[in-house]
Amino acid sequence: MSIVKRVGLLVGREKTFPQALIERINAQGKGEVSAEFVKLGGVRLDEGRRYDLIIDRISHEVPFYRAFLKRAALEGTYVVNNPFWWSADDKFFNYSLATKLGVAIPKTVLLPQKDYIDGITSESLRNLEFPLDWQAIVDHTGLPAIIKPFDGGGWKNVSRVDSLEELWRVYDTTGTLCMTLQEFIHFDQFVRCYCVGQEEVMIMPYDPRQPYLSGEQYINDPNYLSPELAARVTRDVRTLCRALGYDLNTVEFAIKDGVPYAIDFMNPAPDAELASVGEFYHNWVTDAVVRLVFKRLAEPREQPRYRWDALLDSASTASGSGSQVMSAVASAAEQSQRTIIPQPVREFTADVAAGASALVEEAKSAVANLIGAADDDGQAGAAPREGAESTAQPQANEPPKSARGATGKLPRTPAAKKGATKAPSLRDKKTTPGA
Ligand SMILES: Nc1ncnc2c1ncn2[C@@H]1O[C@H](COP(=O)(O)OP(=O)(O)O)[C@@H](O)[C@H]1O
Ligand SMILES: [Mg+2]
């Protein structure tokens, strides 16, 4: 029998998950669907479609792969996860979106970077408030707080800080990373949830205090959450993954006083290794992804499924701040509908814009339903990406080594990262230690 559909896997160091996917897809494909590791050299811009679907586990760490995937998408390859949205997303944006969708998020503040690339001087940064009102920032988040990158994964550069002085010590080590400061949730329970195909959800009790990637973090207890909490977590997971359009993701919740606070839901290449998540979860997620692959392959494919045109033509779809927000959500929700036929930019005309607006209206009502569903539970207003390659140890409950080794005195001129320009200190003179 001839092969009709091809599935490619783009992977990092992980072994068991991609191998299991290839075996199970090939077994179920019976010669009509074939899965293999993608092999790449120089990529020509006129290269035709090689794969019907690619599962991407590593492009967040290899820009060449990301560029290849966008190109493949243009040829109609369906990519899990959408490389356009993954490139555009960040944690601060998605926390903000989540609050609008009625999902509880810890109070979070985006911080100006500590350092900047070469060539950026204090003159380049005239838009920045100086000195920064650190006291107001920690008054909002409270202490302790978590400082973490606005676009990170794999527990890298995540630290808990207990005082303003500790926050400054850690902040001084963050270089050019853009960080967020977030209310620390003294959680009673903690769960990590796989979400596959924006529908299938597996809630995994998770103990973040155990060593990262040790295999001891995941606990098997289907009754860990009360039925009400499990229902709310399941709904929140779907709300987030549908709004963001991720086909494969994990959502982490720190649960306090019955409220599940979503703290991390930008994990479009979540850990699924046997040794790390255990046999039960490894098998579950492998089977769920295989189901997703066959489902996506069976969907009608005449039209490419990506909405970069909406990014280029956003003005025609928004007419006020409220509707702008809704359009952002709508365009994400719409990604799952994926109904617009991409056209060359020069051919954009009023009727295309009108078509886009109509679709946005449609998607808006879909999102409104989501919001309505969330509101039913009265939760509105409540307070890795997971690096497949990441081996960093957790620092969430303690400052990084560099900070630990510090003398406790605030360095006046923190060392700038090599290749980076030091910004004028954003420290507030009013809030120096002891002041
Ligand atoms: N607001 C928070 N409250 C309590 N613990 C947190 C909070 N944010 C992060 N953590 C802890 O730090 C870990 C890593 O942070 P996370 O936001 O998941 O970053 P990453 O994307 O690197 O996994 C989490 O698994 C959790 O244990
Ligand atoms: Mg995480």
How large is the C-alpha radius of gyration of the chain? 23
Q: Does a cis peptide bond (omega within 30 degrees of 0) precede residue 344?
A: no
Residues 123, 152: one domain?
A: yes
- CA dihedral (267, 273, 278, 283) in degrees, to 10, reads 90
Centroid of ligand 2 to alpha carbon of 346 (angstroms): 41
In a domain, 203, yes or no: no
Residues 48, 12: one domain?
A: yes
Type of residue numbered 90: D
Map residue 243 onto helix, strand or coil.
helix
The residues of the chain scoring below 70 in pLDDT are 1-3, 302-435
**For the segment 129-144, what is each residue's pLDDT rounded down to a tens digit?**
988 999 999 999 999 9
Proportion of the chain in helix, strand, coil states, percent, rounded to 5: 40, 15, 45
Ligand 1 pocket, CB under 6 A: 106, 146, 148, 152-156, 158, 182-185, 208, 252, 254, 263-264, 384, 396
Nearest CA to ligand 1 atom 16: 264
Burial of 279: CB neighbours in 10 Å, binned 0-12, 13-18, 19+: exposed
What pLDDT is recorded for position 214?
82
Q: Kind and range of the H or E element at 268?
A: none
What pLDDT is recorded for position 182?
98
Give helix 321-337 / helix 350-376 axis angle, nearest 10°: 90
Residues 127, 62: one domain?
A: no
In a domain, 26, yes or no: yes
Centroid of ligand 2 to alpha carbon of 186 (angstroms): 16
Residues 6+ apart with CB under 8 A from 226: none
Residues 78, 114: one domain?
A: no
In a domain, 154, yes or no: yes
Contact predicate 366/247, CB 8 Å: no
β 115-117/145-149 pair status: unpaired
In a domain, 417, yes or no: yes
Q: How far apart are the C-alpha atoms of 244 and 272, rounded to whole Å?
A: 21
Nearest CA to ligand 1 atom 14: 155
Q: Which of 147, 158, 204 to mutate to test the pocket of ligand 1 (most atoms within 8 A of CB)?
A: 158
Q: Which of 252, 259, 265, 390 to mutate to test the pocket of ligand 1 (most atoms within 8 A of CB)?
A: 252
Q: Does a cis peptide bond (omega within 30 degrees of 0) precede residue 157?
A: no
Centroid of ligand 2 to alpha carbon of 266 (angstroms): 8
What pLDDT is recorded for position 428?
38
Enter the tokens of residue 322: 């409220």
In a domain, 57, yes or no: yes
Map residue 10 onto helix, strand or coil.
strand
Give helix 91-100 / helix 227-244 axis angle, nearest 10°: 120
Residues 137, 81: one domain?
A: no
- CATH number of the domain that residue 47 is part of: 3.40.50.20
Contact predicate 131/428, CB 8 Å: yes
Q: Closest ligand 1 atom, CA of 154?
A: 22
Centroid of ligand 2 to alpha carbon of 35 (angstroms): 29
Other CB atoms within 10 Å distance of the CB of residue 36: 13
- CATH number of the domain that residue 161 is part of: 3.30.1490
Q: How far apart are the C-alpha atoms of 33 and 2, rounded to whole Å?
A: 9
User: What are φ and ψ of residue 359, in 5° steps?
Assistant: -65, -40
Cα atoms found within 13 Å of the Cα of residue 178, Cβ hemisphere only = 10
Q: How far apart are the C-alpha atoms of 47 and 62, rounded to whole Å?
A: 20
What pLDDT is recorded for position 216?
85
Nearest CA to ligand 1 atom 12: 396
The separation between CA 221 and the C-alpha centre of its own chain, rounded to angstroms, equals 26
Centroid of ligand 1 to alpha carbon of 270 (angstroms): 14
What pLDDT is recorded for position 130?
87
Q: Whole domain around residue 34: which residue ranges?
A: 5-87
The separation between CA 63 and the C-alpha centre of its own chain, rounded to angstroms, equals 17
Enter the tokens of residue 192: 């990590």
Contact predicate 53/5, CB 8 Å: yes
Q: How far apart are the C-alpha atoms of 262 and 265, rounded to whole Å?
A: 7
Map residue 160 onto helix, strand or coil.
strand
What pLDDT is recorded for position 211?
86
Q: How far apart are the C-alpha atoms of 24 and 47, rounded to whole Å?
A: 29
In a domain, 40, yes or no: yes
Residues 153, 114: one domain?
A: yes
User: What are φ and ψ of residue 432, in 5° steps?
Assistant: -65, 155
Residues 81, 112: one domain?
A: no
In a domain, 296, yes or no: no
**For the segment 145-159, what is each residue's pLDDT rounded down to a tens digit?**
999 999 988 899 999
Q: Closest ligand 1 atom, CA of 261?
A: 1
Q: Does a cis peptide bond (omega within 30 degrees of 0) precede residue 424?
A: no
Centroid of ligand 1 to alpha carbon of 435 (angstroms): 30
The total number of structural domains in the chain stands at 2
Q: Among all chains, which residue has been given the structure tokens 């719409």?
A: 334
Centroid of ligand 1 to alpha carbon of 396 (angstroms): 6
In a domain, 78, yes or no: yes
Nearest CA to ligand 1 atom 17: 264
Q: How far apart are the C-alpha atoms of 68 and 200, rounded to whole Å?
A: 29
Residues 118, 173: one domain?
A: yes
Between the CA of residue 351 and those of 68, 332, 344, what are the distances in Å?
A: 31, 21, 14
